[in-house]
Amino acid sequence: MTGPWGEIVGAAAGQARGGEGGFRLMPDDEMAFGEASATVEAPAGGFALTLTYTWTHPDDGLQDGVLLVGSPQEGADTVEATWLDSWHQKPAPLHLTGALDGSALELSALYSGNWGWQIRLDLTSPQETVLVMRHVIPSEALDQAPPGTQMPAGPYDVMDLRLR
């Protein structure tokens, strides 16, 4: 694998990692922990990255998703990605953009106006894959919320998978 993702993923390519991951629906909910796994690959000669993962929803059971990331353009750190998740993002894929900082990837996208997703994939440690997903609540959504709603606008962690 000669491309940038091949260098980052290295020997960890194709190794399934597992453990426990956290999920919460709303910002003031406690994280519910359940079984999770992930596999990272660097196909297309290392010029693409794929992350396939599973996680457990506390009511709906085992879920899965896939993230496909292209390589940065020569001399740039910006990347484009496509994401599908059986619970969060279906039936159509969501297109995200972001940047690669060393072995950590930060992606974001808007949907339904100003609602958003942020995804951080950290491959810095050869022993651990870290995937954090944040949902972004727009301030105008709070203007339409029922009186007494105590929810801040902005991003909050929805999913936190730390897999070894």
Residues 6+ apart with CB under 8 A from 49: 5, 8, 9, 40, 41, 42, 67, 68, 69, 71, 105
How confident is the model over 83-104, as pLDDT tens digits?
Answer: 999 999 999 999 999 999 889 9
- Domains of the chain with CATH codes: 4-23+31-163 (2.40.128)
The DSSP secondary structure of 31-71, one letter per residue, reads PEEEEEEEEEE-HHHHTEEEEEEEEEETTTEEEEEEEEEEP
What is the pTM (predicted TM-score) of this model? 0.92
Which of residues 77 and 92 earns the better pLDDT score?
92
